[in-house]
Structure 1
Amino acid sequence: MKKLIFTGILAVAGLATSMNAQIQKGNWLVGSSLISSNFGLNTGGGYNIALQPKGAYFIEDNLAVGGYVDLGFNKVTNGSPTEFTYGVGALGRYYLSPGEKGVDNLLNHGRWFLEGNAGIGGRSVENADSTTGFDFGVGPGYSYFITPNIGLEGLVKYRGRAGFGSEGLNSNISFNLGFSIYLPTSKAKDIANDVK
């Protein structure tokens, strides 16, 4: 137990020393976007919930590449069929540096970024036609660091799907809220060694 507590203290202390190092080459980003969520308050109202876990590795300062999984459930009204949405693919994220191309940080503890993704996605509707196709998206976002290694994020994203099944291209613009944890590779190795 003492070893576990000591490891936790070392992890927090080590991560706290990396305030400006979140988006440097060799670090990891792990997080999730809550894509949309609404619940009908009227009698017979429906719901829409979607989650997009993601992970990426910084191949250069400010540039991360990785993957995502997209999972969601929709029900328009109480009597309507349930729709399940899904997707998996690659994503890339580029963080703008303060002052880069005239972009200034709104807050001292945040960074603007651009995110794009491409993969396979689809939807399955209960007792109806379903489709799978090319899933893609792009949009700007902002990450506000509430601690040196945890960021709350907002992302406005154009999302599209070119279906191979019963429907062609469909698209929407979504406002995503979520969080990301930025892990320095060196600190993760130190923590793993301490646990041994």
Structure 2
Amino acid sequence: MKKLLLGAFVIAAGFFSSANAQIQEGNWMVGSSIISSRFGLNTGAGYDIALQPKAAYFIKDNVALGGYVNLGISKVTKGSPTAFDYGVGALGRYYLSPGEQGVDNLLNHGRWFFEGNVGIGGRSIENADSTTGLDFGVGPGYSYFITPNIGIEGLVKYVGRAGFGNEGLNSNITFNVGFSIYLPTSHAKRIANEVK
């Protein structure tokens, strides 16, 4: 019971912390793009939906490094075969400070960021050839904080795969909507030590 109360206290304390504290050194970001629509730049490319969980640790203020997993399913047309996309790799984020490089926040409770990733991924198509290769991507995003520690995010990203199998370079522009939870680990550790 004591651990349950401590956990609830840590979460509540996180929600009421300063709005600027979520992207400070020592914190964690855990989230996912829950809707991803992709419009292909290559001939014959189409539309797909993906779930992209990610986690990152803030190595310094405004800079986070971590990893991602990509799981998606797609069909080019109604009669086309189903394709399954997968990937895993490293990601990095840089959050712009208000007024930095002439970029002001559009909203008082949000932050612009740039995200980049690199990893291994592939595509498996039913009754057809599959490929695995180097996944990479980069693009801008915006996180609107509905509480000091929960952000709803939009991200536009150029993504590509340099295939080692039956495909060469395949590239797309993705439009992602998701959320992230920012966990103030240093604050949580201090509260846990005080309770002991």
CA RMSD of aligned residues (A): 2.4
Tell whether the 8 Å contact from 2:37 to 2:175 is kept in structure 1 after alignment: no
Letter of the 1:170 counterpart: N
Number of residue pairs matched?
A: 189
Show the counterpart of 1:13: 13
Letter of the 1:127 counterpart: N
CA distance in 2, matches of 1:187, 1:35: 31
TM alignment of 1:29-178, pairs within 5 A: 29-36=29-36, 48-178=48-178
TM-score by structure 1 length? 0.87
The DSSP-based 3-state class of the residue aligned with 1:123 is: strand
Deviation at 1:195, TM superposition (A): 9.6
Tell whether the 8 Å contact from 2:161 to 2:169 is kept in structure 1 after alignment: yes
- Once the two structures are superposed, residues 50-101 of structure 1 have per-residue CA deviations (whole angstroms, 9 ceiling, x without a partner) of 0110000000100000000000011334432111000000000000011111
Show the counterpart of 2:189: 189
The DSSP-based 3-state class of the residue aligned with 1:13 is: helix
The DSSP-based 3-state class of the residue aligned with 2:189 is: helix
Tell whether the 8 Å contact from 1:11 to 1:191 is kept in structure 2 after alignment: no
CA distance in 1, matches of 2:185, 2:6: 19
Letter of the 2:28 counterpart: W
The DSSP-based 3-state class of the residue aligned with 2:186 is: helix
TM-score by structure 2 length? 0.87
Rate the CA distance shift 1:195–1:163 in 2: closer, same or farther, 3 A: farther
Tell whether the 8 Å contact from 1:15 to 1:187 is kept in structure 2 after alignment: no
Tell whether the 8 Å contact from 2:14 to 2:184 is kept in structure 1 after alignment: no
For structure 1, the residue ranges without an aligned partner over 5 or more in a row are 39-45
